[in-house]
């Protein structure tokens, strides 16, 4: 079998090189491009790319030998424009983000439910004063997206005694969910949801799914999380919903434009929490392990894990 | 069968009266004492007390007909002085605090791990900047006390992929724990624990269990939670441990003196979180349900749930 060339194009190149060399993968030559000029020099040799999508995108037209692109991120939407190349296999990382995203969602949710910031302020004033609260038990969580991340968040919700509903394209039953519905049921489900969590990818169908008309259906007091893609939420309409009380609170890790511009009114909205797209993180050890498993499949001609359907967009 | 008189002595009297009347318990006469003078007038008639321990304590010498005291709280240590009455059955509420305490512990823990206060500050400055973090997976939690609260916290820890160790009087295996040890193993276990959670009651054996000598055994970077009783932690030694870095962080819901006095140095310690003894709360609906079940047992002459052993202290 002939040798394959892998080009590494990520901020964790050194780490990946060490891990992959240690794995002794057969017939694999590993190259690193740590800067733009190296990348342009080496891209023509690459049969395989292991890269951050945005970093690799401008180089794709010159990747003449490319047959497989392993994204080091979950989000690959920058590679899915209708006029982009589709003559290679694109895989993303899946299955490793569920626990971290669940920690993010429940860390923020419990911090809000249990008024942690309020007690922090009271501590500064040396004030011993308790305020009423309710637990998560019996509350309803609606999760948009029932893949591995959605399922993990659902299991955590069930652990805390919540009722967990899901929305997916197929409406198929999934582990951790009490019930899964298709998109047309969304408005009806929103009326029941105390907590809404979007883990949706960026596709044509999910763009601005949360807009002014949608927020009309939310239960008063509801909290919205977006840990999927920013495009699922219309920022202007969200601000109005937060200002008028259609929605009690939003916790956003993703935005239509990232980094969120300093002049965005989202930063200053009191009932909105902004975090810099870090609800989950691709730990290099996990990503390298996914690559190793996929490489064995690749040289065996087997279907790759995490393969993106260019039409569906995920 | 003769009638029994129940005297309600709590801040939720009206709520309890409504729930218990609706339960139509046989042979039960329900009296309410909403203030001190009513309480002194009525205490002599009570066969049964349903009360907050501290509120009932001064009245006990006059409770001539008392045969059963259902505490509305978990903590009953004020009733356990060696020279207090022991000629009645004392029961506390159990089994309802696990979920709330687990929400408290993991709300604070995830808020710390995911640096929620830091991102809150950055949001005020409109600063988009991510910082490294680690998940809970693979970390070790040591829980002191393996009863229903400890078990619930243990299950949550397992859900988040933690290794969960326990310390109990018996060292008996318990659901949710990878391993349970007896007290003499504490120092050795502390050396492994990233997170320490005390749910211990106030007894002679638990008093100042966490003192200067103990903190010497903690793993650098460890976080200590106390959601049991304040007496388990020596406050002065804790402050020293926090100042010298023997311990990275403490989250305390209970204190040797409550309310925590305004001049306590604990309030101002930066790596210490103070909350006003509200990690769990006796929701009247839950407490009333426990009373109803126990009342049926009481009139049938069966053993009561949650019965306190005056010698053991829990």
What does the angle CA B202 – CA B150 – CA A102 come to, to the nearest 5 degrees? 135
- Among A185, A229, A191, CA closest to A207: A229
What residues in B contact A155, CB-CB < 8 Å? 159
Contact B135 A106 (CB under 8 A): no
Strand-by-strand arrangement of the A68-71 sheet: A28-32, A4-9, A48-51, A68-71, A89-91
How does DSSP classify residue B61? G
Q: What pLDDT digit, counting tens, does each position of B250-293 carry?
A: 999 999 999 999 999 999 999 999 999 999 988 899 999 999 99
User: Residue B314: is its pLDDT beyond 90?
Assistant: no
User: Residue B233: is its pLDDT beyond 70?
Assistant: yes
What does the angle CA A176 – CA A220 – CA A280 come to, to the nearest 5 degrees? 45
pLDDT of residue B255: 97
pLDDT of residue A283: 86
Q: What is the mean pLDDT of each run of 10 residues along chain A (314 residues)?
A: 92 96 96 96 98 96 97 92 93 92 98 97 98 94 96 98 97 97 98 98 93 97 97 98 98 97 98 97 91 96 95 86
Annotated active-site residue A229? The verdict is yes
Contact A103 B135 (CB under 8 A): yes
The residues with which B141 forms a beta bridge, in sequence order, are: B164, B195
Q: What pLDDT digit, counting tens, does each position of B25-39 carry?
A: 999 999 999 999 999
User: Residue A130 in contact with residue B278, Cβ under 8 Å?
Assistant: yes
Place of tokens 């050795």: B188
Distance from CA of A120 to the nearest CA of B (A): 7
Q: Which residues contact B227 (CB under 8 A, 6 or more apart)?
A: B101, B104, B105, B149, B197, B198, B199, B253, B254, B279, B280
pLDDT of residue A1: 67
How big is chain B by its Cα radius of gyration, in Å?
A: 22
The secondary element (H helix, E strand) that includes residue B29 is: strand B28-32
Rounded distance between C-alpha atoms, residue A173 and residue A165, angstroms: 10
Q: What pLDDT digit, counting tens, does each position of A224-279 carry?
A: 999 999 999 999 999 999 999 999 999 999 999 999 999 999 999 999 999 999 99
pLDDT of residue B54: 94
Annotated active-site residue B229? The verdict is yes
Q: Which residue of A has its CA nearest to B118?
A: A275
Query: Which domains, and CATH codes, for chain A?
Result: 2-93+281-298 (3.40.50.720), 97-272 (3.40.50.720)
Annotated active-site residue A258? The verdict is yes
pLDDT of residue B313: 84
How does DSSP classify residue B303? P
User: Residue B312: is its pLDDT beyond 90?
Assistant: no
User: Residue B1: is its pLDDT beyond 80?
Assistant: no
Question: If you write DSSP's letter for every residue of B138-161 in order, what string do you get?
Answer: T-EEEEE--SHHHHHHHHHHHHTT
**CA B259, B262, B265, B266: dihedral to nearest 10 degrees?**
40
Q: Which residue of A has its CA nearest to B155?
A: A159
Rounded distance between C-alpha atoms, residue B265 and residue B245, angstroms: 17
Rounded to an integer, the average pLDDT of B56-68 is 97
Q: In the predicted model, what is the mean pLDDT of chain B?
A: 96
pLDDT of residue A141: 98
Rounded to an integer, the average pLDDT of B234-255 is 98
pLDDT of residue A96: 85
Angle, helices A116-124 vs B98-113, to 10°: value is 70
Catalytic residue among B47, B174, B229, B234: B229
Which stretches does DSSP call E strand in chain A?
4-9, 28-32, 48-51, 68-71, 89-91, 140-144, 163-167, 179-181, 195-198, 223-226, 249-252, 272-274
pLDDT of residue A306: 95
């Amino acid at each position: 079998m002939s040798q394959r060339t892998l080009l590494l194009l990520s901020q964790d190149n050194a780490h990946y090189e060490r891990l992959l060399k240690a794995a002794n993968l057969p017939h694999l030559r590993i190259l690193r491009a740590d800067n733009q000029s190296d990348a342009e020099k080496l891209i023509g040799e690459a049969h395989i790319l292991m890269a951050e999508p945005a970093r690799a995108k401008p180089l794709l037209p010159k990747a003449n030998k490319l047959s497989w692109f392993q994204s080091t991120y979950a989000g690959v939407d920058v590679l899915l424009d209708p006029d982009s190349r589709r003559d290679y296999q694109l895989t993303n990382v899946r299955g490793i983000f569920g626990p971290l995203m669940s920690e993010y969602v429940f860390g923020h949710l419990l911090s809000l439910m249990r008024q942690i910031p309020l007690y922090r302020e009271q501590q500064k004033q040396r004030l011993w004063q308790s305020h009423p609260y309710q637990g998560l038990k019996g509350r309803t969580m609606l999760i948009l997206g029932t893949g591995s991340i959605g399922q993990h968040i659902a299991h955590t919700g069930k652990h805390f005694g919540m009722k967990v509903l899901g929305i997916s394209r197929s409406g198929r039953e999934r582990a951790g969910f009490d019930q899964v519905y298709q998109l047309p049921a969304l408005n009806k489900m929103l009326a029941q949801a105390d907590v809404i969590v979007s883990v949706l990818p960026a596709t044509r169908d999910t763009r601005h799914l949360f807009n002014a008309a949608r927020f009309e259906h939310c239960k008063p007091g509801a909290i919205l999380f977006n840990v999927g893609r920013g495009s699922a939420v219309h920022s202007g309409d969200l601000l109005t919903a937060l200002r008028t009380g259609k929605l009690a609170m939003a916790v956003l890790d993703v935005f239509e434009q990232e980094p969120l511009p300093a002049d965005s009114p989202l930063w200053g909205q009191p009932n909105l929490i902004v975090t810099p797209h870090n609800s989950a993180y691709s730990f290099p050890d996990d990503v390298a392990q996914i690559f190793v498993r996929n490489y064995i499949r690749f040289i065996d001609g087997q279907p790759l894990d995490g393969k993106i359907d260019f039409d569906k967009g995920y």
